[in-house]
Structure 1
Amino acid sequence: MAEPKNVAILGATGAVGTQMLECLAERDFPVGDLHLLASPRSVGKVVEWQGRKVEVELAAPEAFEGVDIVLGAAGDDVAKELLPEAVRRGATVVDNSHAFRLDADVPLVVPEINPEDVAWNHGLIANPNCATIIGLVPTWPLHKLGHVTRMVVSTYQAASGAGVPGMTELEEQLGALGRGEEIGVPKAFADQLANNLIPQIGSEKFAGYTSEEMKMQNEGRKIMHLPELRVNCTCVRVPVLRSHSESITLEFAEPVELDAAREALACAPGVKLVDDLAAEKACDRFPMPLYTSDQDLVWVGRVRRDISNPDEARGITFWCCGDQIRKGAATNAVQIAELLL
């Protein structure tokens, strides 16, 4: 048994923080003292966890005293303000915000891909963007077959990507439509999400691409140690409560056999191959967000040649789905914390 670690969750009452708490229990993480840190409006709330009653504390520098591992589930501003304080007090931080992901001194880790990068941390380890994690987990085993040089990606991202406010807003809009009522002014999204698609996530970042779209390239390069990787990504918000979906086309430096690709995916850690168009049930034919929510595997299907590639042997297209809150955020962070043990 690993020695118990004193653990703190920053942003413990949000969607990702709450899921981190569940993942710690599910994975039997050796938690000693547990500190749940949040904003003043949540201070004093009591959370039951593994037979304990834990009172939510104020997120402040002194709250990190005596903590071994901090799981960050707060926004960029709070992360920048408080997490370096945790490191100064001797804690190792696994942070889910965007604040430190592209910092050259901070490892950016997906345990199925680059667990060895944890070894060179200086107190901070970054958890990648949810869509990046879900897309790269199945890309990695294919990269090992033929060396990926280019990715063309379209993401279909659930309301959960905007946290509890996003999920609540979608549920309220669907409820209002069902009752024949007016939908109020959207707050979590740029427009009504129910019965709609919104083809912009994040602000414009580079040449018409948004900040969310550039994460797939910039984070993917760092995680896979592929500084020349080329990525064309379009991110779309869809009226799905939970679990992101992605259509991905890969271009390789070397030919990749289709059967070898399917075998690699079937054997890859963190991946479930669901790729049988002749199956009786639709859920056995291809991945769908309805069935990939509330679990930790990235489901992959529709694996086929990229027939638009002049050299078909060097192109593969697939579809994947994964739970944004779990593997796309909380579970990945807890997996990183396990590497620290």
Structure 2
Amino acid sequence: MIALRVAVVGIGAVGREMVRCLWQSSLPLSDEPLVLARTAREVTIDGKTIQVHEAHPDAFKGMDIVFFAGTEGEKGAARQFARPAIEEGAIVIDNGSDFRMVDGVPLVVPEVNPDDLEVLRGNGTVELPGVGEVPQRYVANPNCSTIQMVVALKPLHDAAKVKRVIASTYQAVSGAGSAAVEELEMQAHRILHGQDPGEFKVHPLQIAFNVLAGANWRFEEAGYTNEEWKMVRETRKIMHEPDLPITVTCVRVPVFTGHAEAIYVELERPLSADEAREILRNAKGIVVIDEPTQLPDGTSYRTYPTPLDAAGKDPVYVGRIRNDPFNPHGLWLWVVADNLRKGAALNAIQIAEEIVRRGIVKA
């Protein structure tokens, strides 16, 4: 078996989690991942010192797979380094949003649409805006909130066909990067010590002890934020349902790690809550936490997952599965996942594992 050489570009919150996931993955690595960033330095991950090298076009020689975990846009990793990485023969798996919706670019969640990776075979090319035409060895990793939603929707879609989706998200601050985590820590500390919350640097309003139905996202068409439109457009592309009605409200909450989503699904044929639980229990990548139980005072309720349950874990957790009492085709789900793992780093590593399993990259 030939071992793989892999690189990670970017060493922020997602890049660090990618390194952790690579250490834990089934990929046959030849050596430690090559870690690249804007500046060379040393970082410590879980007590282990990692050498970070300066990213430059010649750094990708001999790489089989390159993960982009850094910034997006004109100065982002994909715009600067997709071409040299691909031209050196590597497959690029990009966590950024620059090219997710480009025709010919596979946008993949392995539990949902792994066959879309077959486009990487052969001698095809793809046009990446701002980069140009390159050999088709580029894969996009979806948005964090999209990933966990489609993992939960796909088994139900296969069983009863999803006709409409209404979702509200409750997204952790780590989705906005390390600076957002530090901002929440700082604000909470100051407020608990009787001080004003201090300067807002990441979010436009106080995030500690607050809920932001706009956060630092950009407002776009019809009053929806870019985060909300990402969920609409990406879900349609991943599920191969270009006209699926989806409407979303994305909310930032004062939680460090773990996105939660309340999802209403309208199905072509009715499914009972018990049927849906069984379908989801048998689905890959999902853990159902939805069991009847009682409080000490005898009050009955059903268990459900929380962001604390998901933090540091791989699965997508689903609970509060219940029918709409006024629509036999309606079903509610509560979906929770670690946004840095399954919502970003882990999904990218799982894409690489699927590429290897299919023999697209031989190891």
- Normalised by the shorter chain, which TM-score bucket? over 0.9
Flag the structure with higher helix content. 1
Pairing 1:196–2:192 present: no
**TM-score normalised by L of structure 2:** 0.87
Choose from 313, 316, 319 the match for 1:295. 313
* Other-structure match for 1:45: 42
Choose from 37, 41, 51 the match for 1:55. 51
More displaced 10-residue stretch of structure 1: 54-63 or 185-194: 54-63
Q: Deviations over 1:154-180 (max 9, x none)?
A: 000001111111111111111112222
Pairing 1:74–2:70 present: yes
* Other-structure match for 1:7: 6
Choose from 249, 261, 282 the match for 1:234. 249
More displaced 10-residue stretch of structure 1: 322-331 or 251-260: 251-260
Question: What secondary structure does 1:225 align onto?
Answer: coil
* Other-structure match for 1:154: 168
For 1:24 and 1:39, the matched residues in 2 are separated by: 21
Choose from 15, 18, 24 the match for 1:17. 15
Question: What secondary structure does 2:293 align onto?
Answer: coil
Pairing 1:36–2:29 present: no
For 2:43 and 2:247, the matched residues in 1 are separated by: 45
For 1:183 and 1:74, the matched residues in 2 are separated by: 29
For 2:138 and 2:171, the matched residues in 1 are separated by: 27
* Other-structure match for 1:97: 96
Question: What secondary structure does 1:185 align onto?
Answer: coil
Cα deviation for residue 29 of structure 1 reads: 2.4
For 1:285 and 1:279, the matched residues in 2 are separated by: 9
Cα deviation for residue 85 of structure 1 reads: 2.2
* Other-structure match for 2:332: 317
Question: What secondary structure does 2:177 align onto?
Answer: helix
* Other-structure match for 2:221: 206
Distance 1:112 1:146, change over 3 A: same
- Counting only pairs closer than 5 Å after superposition, residues 115-126 of structure 1 correspond to structure 2 as 115-121=114-120, 122-126=136-140
Partners of 1:107 and 1:120 within 8 A in 2: yes
For 1:127 and 1:264, the matched residues in 2 are separated by: 26
More displaced 10-residue stretch of structure 1: 102-111 or 175-184: 175-184
For residue 159 of structure 1, what is the amino acid of its counterpart?
V
Cα deviation for residue 217 of structure 1 reads: 1.3
For 1:173 and 1:19, the matched residues in 2 are separated by: 25
Q: Deviations over 1:6-47 (max 9, x none)?
A: 101010x2000000000111124222243101112xx13265
Partners of 1:145 and 1:261 within 8 A in 2: no
For 2:189 and 2:319, the matched residues in 1 are separated by: 32
For residue 75 of structure 1, what is the amino acid of its counterpart?
T
For residue 67 of structure 1, what is the amino acid of its counterpart?
M
Question: What secondary structure does 1:119 align onto?
Answer: helix
Question: What secondary structure does 2:339 align onto?
Answer: coil
Distance 1:248 1:242, change over 3 A: same
Cα deviation for residue 252 of structure 1 reads: 1.3
For 1:116 and 1:124, the matched residues in 2 are separated by: 15
Question: What secondary structure does 1:207 align onto?
Answer: helix
Choose from 104, 109, 131 the match for 2:145. 131
Cα deviation for residue 134 of structure 1 reads: 1.1
For residue 31 of structure 1, what is the amino acid of its counterpart?
L
For 2:227 and 2:19, the matched residues in 1 are separated by: 26
**TM-score normalised by L of structure 1:** 0.93
For 2:294 and 2:21, the matched residues in 1 are separated by: 32
Distance 1:267 1:154, change over 3 A: same
* Other-structure match for 1:243: 258
Distance 1:72 1:290, change over 3 A: same
* Other-structure match for 1:173: 187
For 1:219 and 1:193, the matched residues in 2 are separated by: 27
Choose from 124, 138, 142 the match for 2:156. 142
* Other-structure match for 1:83: 82
For 1:253 and 1:304, the matched residues in 2 are separated by: 16
Distance 1:279 1:136, change over 3 A: farther
Identity of aligned residues (%): 41
Cα deviation for residue 259 of structure 1 reads: 2.0
Question: What secondary structure does 1:32 align onto?
Answer: coil
* Other-structure match for 1:326: 341
Q: Deviations over 1:196-233 (max 9, x none)?
A: 11101421122111110011110001111111111010
Structure 2, unmatched stretches of 5+, are 121-135, 357-363
Report the RMSD for the aligned CA atoms in angstroms. Answer: 2.0
More displaced 10-residue stretch of structure 1: 282-291 or 102-111: 282-291
Cα deviation for residue 49 of structure 1 reads: 9.0
Cα deviation for residue 315 of structure 1 reads: 1.1
